Amino acid sequence: MNIPFSILDLANVVEGGNAAESFRRCVQTARRAEKLGYKRVWYAEHHNIASVASSATSVLMAHIAAQTETIRIGAGGIMLPNHSPLTIAEQFGTLETLHPGRIDLGLGRAPGGDMGVIRALRKDYERAGNRFPADVEELIDYMAGADEHKLTHVRAIPGEGTKVPIYILGSSLFGAQLAARLGLPYAFASHFAPQFLMQATKIYREEFQPSRHLSKPYFMMACSVIAADTESEARFHFSTLIQAFIGIITNRRGLTPAPVENVDIPPAIRPHLETMLRCSAVGTAEQVAESLTHFRQQFSPDEFIISMPFHDQAARLRSLEFTMEAREMLTAE
């Protein structure tokens, strides 16, 4: 059986575009992904980042779910320290009630922004971050059935009984340990922070405790994929991601840049950039298949969740097709 492929869509706002256009692109992408057989499409909560329009994640999910029919729609993820567990239970209970069997809830511990964002959210982030494990359990409890053990007498309506699948997200060892202890699926952000990928997957699998949610570990590996008719075309579009990552490293984040023939990479940041891009697959369908086969043999993911940060939407939609062609070429572990 072929490994499932899914999409991580950051609702990128491109140079020359705006948020409204970004949302139209999200609908196009989700519809094409659904038609091609991708399992799910996730949207991430980020704040104060000019290139990312998915800050009101549950609202965007509702819009995409209403514009599609079968593909799973999820958060990858909700930054739980920014919210009360009850609020998220009610939001995702509403989504699941409207779109039964199609909603995922990935949870992260980061704020999804800088110190200015933390202040604007009126949060004591250190305390909120420390409460993350307890908040995850409280959130699960709100969405459990009415006849199951409850941590609180407060009911999430809607939410109670929906049992929306919860995923722990992470780029460090903390998330791996928590997902293992709670017996939940785990998704690693290796598309931009692969440094602890090997260690985190090892910890997750070795420490996993079966639960009512999951009988055995389920690991999702995020990676960037840029596929095209030719390697040179793919490398051209890959320059968009390179420029975006340079902006992250140098704290000059702007709108998603247009591709260029040659990117001027400052020597001082080249090692850091190469690390961030380590889990990328770029080229023709055959070359992407070769890269993903290597990742599969090295990390044994149960699912790939793929980021495709294109400036050009038509090229992105073609990349979705080439990537599914690559899926058919993957060799076994």
Evaluate if residue 267 carries a pLDDT over 60: yes
Evaluate if residue 46 carries a pLDDT over 50: yes
146-163 pLDDT per residue, tens: 888 677 789 999 999 999
* The residue to which tokens 């239970």 are assigned: 89
Evaluate if residue 142 carries a pLDDT over 80: yes
> Which H, E and C letters describe the chain, residue by residue?
CCCCEEEEECCECECCCCHHHHHHHHHHHHHHHHHHCCCEEEECCCCCCCCECCCCHHHHHHHHHHCCCCCEEEEEEEEHHHCCHHHHHHHHHHHHHHCCCCEEEEEECCCCCCHHHHHHCCCCHHHHHHCHHHHHHHHHHHHCCCCCCCCCCCCCCCCCCCCCCEEEEECCHHHHHHHHHHCCCEEECCCCCHHHHHHHHHHHHHHCCCCCCCCCCCEEEEEEEEECCCHHHHHHHHHHHHHHHHHHHCCCCCCECCCCCCCCCCHHHHHHHHHHCCCEEEECHHHHHHHHHHHHHHHCCCEEEEECCCCCHHHHHHHHHHHHHHHHHCCCC
Evaluate if residue 185 carries a pLDDT over 90: yes
285-310 pLDDT per residue, tens: 999 999 999 999 999 999 999 999 99
Phi, psi of 134 (to 5 degrees): -65, -35
- Backbone region of residue 96 per phi and psi (left: phi > 0; alpha: psi in -120 to 50; beta: other values): alpha
| pLDDT, averaged across the chain | 93
Task: Give the pLDDT confidence score for residue 113 in this predicted structure.
Answer: 64
Task: Give the pLDDT confidence score for residue 112 in this predicted structure.
Answer: 65
CA–CA gap between residue 324 and residue 161 (Å, rounded): 35
Phi, psi of 77 (to 5 degrees): -150, -170
The percentage of residues in the chain with a pLDDT greater than 90, rounded to a whole number, is: 81
- Close Cβ partners of 30 (under 8 Å, ≥ 6 residues apart): 7, 9, 41, 64, 67, 68, 71, 73
**What's the distance, CA 132 to chain centroid?**
19
Evaluate if residue 333 carries a pLDDT over 50: no
Q: Nearest Cα to 175, choosing from 117, 72, 106, 252?
A: 106
- Close Cβ partners of 178 (under 8 Å, ≥ 6 residues apart): 132, 133, 136, 168, 170, 184
Q: Considering the entire predicted model, what is its pTM?
A: 0.93
Q: What is the mean pLDDT of residues 13-28?
A: 96
Confidence of residue 1 (pLDDT cuts 50, 70, 90): low
Q: β-pairing, 186-188 with 219-227?
A: parallel
Fold of 5-329: TIM Barrel (3.20.20)
